[in-house]
Structure 1
Amino acid sequence: MVDGLIIRSSSIHAAGCYTTRAIKKGARVVEYDGPRFTKDEADDRYQDRDITYLFSCGTDGMVIDGFGTAMFINHSCDPNCQTEDVDGRIFVMAIRDIAAGSELTYEYNLYDSDDAEQDCYCGAEQCRGTMFSEAEVKKRARKARAAAKAKAS
């Protein structure tokens, strides 16, 4: 466990990561860390798994297999944190002041997933309904329109 962070039940999804201390805007909260391998290796390793904690890092197609406190940080469409890639290391950063006892969240901005849907249940007032990035949502909409057009032809 990381000092000042605890894992407990979450209303967003199963377990969540909470802070036991106040965190200032701009502070590094925790590093998303774990074994690293290529996306292809991850696809092979986890092809039959429904749940993974993979995080893309760097510019060379590597992923982190999250195994630690940060893997419990849930997605939210109104997050209090964001991730930052610093030379291939992923840090979770506070994007506003966070009160002690708060659940930590960031936008997952998923992309390149084989899953048809990645529904969001964060409960935020402006919930987008998906954990996919806006770019991925647009890409999937274009693909669906092209498929519908091809089918109609």
Structure 2
Amino acid sequence: MALIVRSSAIHAAGCYTTTRIGRGRRIAEYTGPRISKDEADEMYQDAPLTYLFGLGNGDLVIDGHCTAMFINHSCEPNCETEVVRGRVWIKAIKEIAAGTEITYDYHLYDGDDDEQICNCGTAKCKGTMFSVDEVKKRKKARKSD
């Protein structure tokens, strides 16, 4: 299996497969230095883009430095993340044809003020990259304001 990074209609650059990938296959590992959320917030305070992956409750993050950092969010993904013994894998949840962009649902939950608008363009787009729980939490907070 080979992955390439090229232009994406979802967001700037995306990760694509050049070969067919079978359902259940691990595609890539999300790697990079592990830092605290506070360190990440300080490092990337004014950065327009980050490639951070939250672990556990989000107090620890991976500062992405790998091919997997180019895998974009989609509300109708072809992959999901799987944490195995502290390692984060991107795994196919369906068969993926050669030439297809690899995607997974980010399920963001960090509570930052930014809206994290989704640009996946799928028929089931929920309009945000936030998790369902985060969306509910934000709606509840707006109602109590």
Same fold (TM over 0.5): yes
Question: Residue type of the partner of 2:69?
Answer: M
2:55 and 2:30 mapped to 1: Cα distance? 10
Q: Quick check: 1:38–1:62 contact (8 Å CA) kept in 2?
A: yes
Deviation at 1:131, TM superposition (A): 0.5
Name the CA distance, whole Å, in 1 between partners of 2:111 and 2:137: 12
C-alpha distance 138-58 of structure 1, shift in aligned 2 (>3 A): closer
Q: Assess, with a 3 A threshold, how the Cα gap between structure 1 residues 122 and 131 changes in structure 2: closer, same or farther.
A: same
- Could you say which residue in structure 1 is the equivalent of 2:123? 125
Runs of 4+ in 1 over 3 A off after TM superposition: none
Q: For the Cα contact (< 8 Å) 1:39–1:61, is it kept in 2? A: yes
- The whole-number CA distance in structure 2 between the counterparts of 1:7 and 1:80 is 17
Residue of structure 1 in register with 2:38 after alignment:
40
1:63-82 per-residue CA deviation (whole Å, 9 max, x = no partner) reads 10011100110100000000
1:72 to 60, 70, 73: 70
Task: State which drifts further: 51-60 or 7-16.
Answer: 51-60
Q: Which runs of 5+ in 1 are unaligned?
A: 148-153
Report SS of the residue matched to 1:41.
Answer: helix
Aligned alpha-carbon RMSD (Å): 1.4
Identity of aligned residues (%): 60
Cα displacement (A) at 1:58: 4.3
Unaligned runs of 5+ in 2: none
TM superposition score normalised by structure 2: 0.95
Alignment of structure 1 residues 1-153 onto 2, 5 Å: 4-58=2-56, 61-147=59-145
Aligned length: 145
SS in 2 for 1:91: strand
